[in-house]
Amino acid sequence: MTEIRASTILPAHREDIELHTADGLTLVGELALPLHNRPRATIVCLHPLPTAEGMMDSHILRKAAWRLPALADIAVLRFNTRGTSSARGTSEGAFDNAQSEKFDVAAAIEFPEFHDLPSPWLLGWSFGTDLALMYGCDPAIAGAILLSPPLRFTQPDHLAAWAQSDKPLVAVIPEFDDYLRPAEATERFSVISHAELVPMPGAKHLWVGDADRVLNEIVRHVNPDAYPLPSTWDGPHESAAVFQPHKS
């Protein structure tokens, strides 16, 4: 048995994908699927603020793609919003302060439907939570998980739309968040009666050192049969130090 570390990459079928937006842009991304089983659920990742180095490879999203297909039979779709760059490449367009990004979210939501991927959940982190709240309350989405929501771009009408929906909405709030801490989050999300707030003791906005706790919280909602995640792996694996994530 091997201990699963921050750099551990477990087996999955990984392929480069492209998303095509209604306003004519091509966005680059990756889809990671369980190697042998049909996915039980899908997470569509919305990354942190690109002007602050947020991208599809931001560490929680990267580790989700490295681990969850193998450990929880979850498909993981990551992509760069418009104008965002990562090792995968650069998406067309330019950052638009959460305005034209509505087309990016719509294209990402459509992808599971057209590729027969089950039970798609949005997984937003920081800026990505604003995109989820603003544009993600869609009939095709099973629910949303928000990591470190700053509620920077989100307006009251966006929260009202989720309040009127019966879709699960889970907000994971770091105790020492830079923008929104548990007490204020309880007040701000009170308009959504069914929202579940999960305070995370000791954690900060960037979740450094807390990936395991975050991934467990994701799995607890998206595929509870796989919760809690194991901390060891008995089988082939690779290390991020030598792994080539986009080889064919």
% residues pLDDT > 70 (the chain)? 97
Name the helix (H) or strand (E) containing 9: strand 8-9
Strand 2-3 to 232-233 pairing: antiparallel
Domain for residue 173, yes or no?
A: yes
Question: How many domains is the chain partitioned into structurally?
Answer: 1
Domain for residue 180, yes or no?
A: yes
Q: What is the mean pLDDT of the chain?
A: 96
Whole-angstrom Cα distance, residue 45 to residue 66?
13
Domain for residue 60, yes or no?
A: yes
Report the CATH number that the domain containing residue 107 is assigned in CATH.
3.40.50.1820
Domain for residue 97, yes or no?
A: yes
Q: What is the pLDDT of residues 150-189, one digit of tens each?
A: 999 999 999 999 999 999 999 999 999 999 999 999 999 9
Whole-angstrom Cα distance, residue 53 to residue 38?
33
The Cβ of residue 2 has, within 10 Å, a number of other Cβ atoms equal to 12
Domain for residue 146, yes or no?
A: yes
> Does the structure show a pLDDT above 80 at 59?
yes
Domain for residue 192, yes or no?
A: yes
Domain for residue 191, yes or no?
A: yes
- The domain of 151 spans 19-225
